[in-house]
Homo-oligomer: A and B are copies of this chain.
Amino acid sequence: MRNKVSLKDIAQKVGVSTAAVSYALNKGKEGKVSDEMAAKIRAAAKELNYQPNQIAKSLKMGRTNTLGLILADVSNPFFSSIARVIEDEAKEHGYTVIFGSSDEKPERSWDLINVLLNRQVDGVIIVPSESSEEQILYLKEQKVPFVLIDRYFPEIPSSFVALDNHRAAYEAVMHLARMGRRRIGMLAYKTNLYHMQERKRGYQEALLDVGLTMSKNWLKEVKYGDIKNGVKNAIDGMLSNGEPIDALFFATNTLAINGLKYIDKLKLKVPDDLAIVSFDEGEAFDFYYCPLTYVRQPVYEIGKGAVQLLLDQIESSNGRIGQIQFDPELIIRKSSGA
Would you give the 0/1 interface string for A99-115, flagging 1 where the beta carbon is closer than 8 Å to chain B? 11100000000000011
With A53-B120, A54-B118, A261-B286 as contacts: A74 and B84 at CB distance below 8 Å: yes
With A3-B142, A283-B257, A284-B283 as contacts: A96 and B119 at CB distance below 8 Å: yes
Contact with A118, one of B51, B117, B287 (Cβ below 8 angstroms): B51
Would you give the 0/1 interface string for A245-281, flagging 1 where the beta carbon is closer than 8 Å to chain B? 0000000000001001100000000000000000000
Contact with A53, one of B114, B118, B282 (Cβ below 8 angstroms): B118
Contacts of A289 in B (CB 8 A): 287, 289
Contacts of A144 in B (CB 8 A): 2
- Any B CB within 8 A of the CB of A22: no
- Any B CB within 8 A of the CB of A98: yes
Q: Which of A55-63, A232-240, A321-329 contacts B (4 or more CB under 8 A)?
A: A55-63
A99 to B55, CA, bound (A): 17
A231: shortest Cβ distance to chain B, in Å? 14
With A2-B144, A84-B75, A100-B87 as contacts: A283 and B286 at CB distance below 8 Å: no
Q: Which residue of B lies closest to A51 (CB)?
A: B118
A285 to B261, CA, bound (A): 12
A240 to B59, CA, bound (A): 63
Q: State whether A81 touches B87 (Cβ < 8 A).
A: no
Q: State whether A75 touches B80 (Cβ < 8 A).
A: yes
- Any B CB within 8 A of the CB of A143: yes
A121: shortest Cβ distance to chain B, in Å? 10
Contacts of A283 in B (CB 8 A): 257, 282-284
Q: State whether A52 touches B2 (Cβ < 8 A).
A: no
A292: shortest Cβ distance to chain B, in Å? 9
A1 to B283, CA, bound (A): 44
- Any B CB within 8 A of the CB of A64: yes
- Any B CB within 8 A of the CB of A312: no
- Any B CB within 8 A of the CB of A28: no
Contacts of A214 in B (CB 8 A): none
- Any B CB within 8 A of the CB of A192: no
- Any B CB within 8 A of the CB of A77: yes
Q: State whether A83 touches B77 (Cβ < 8 A).
A: no
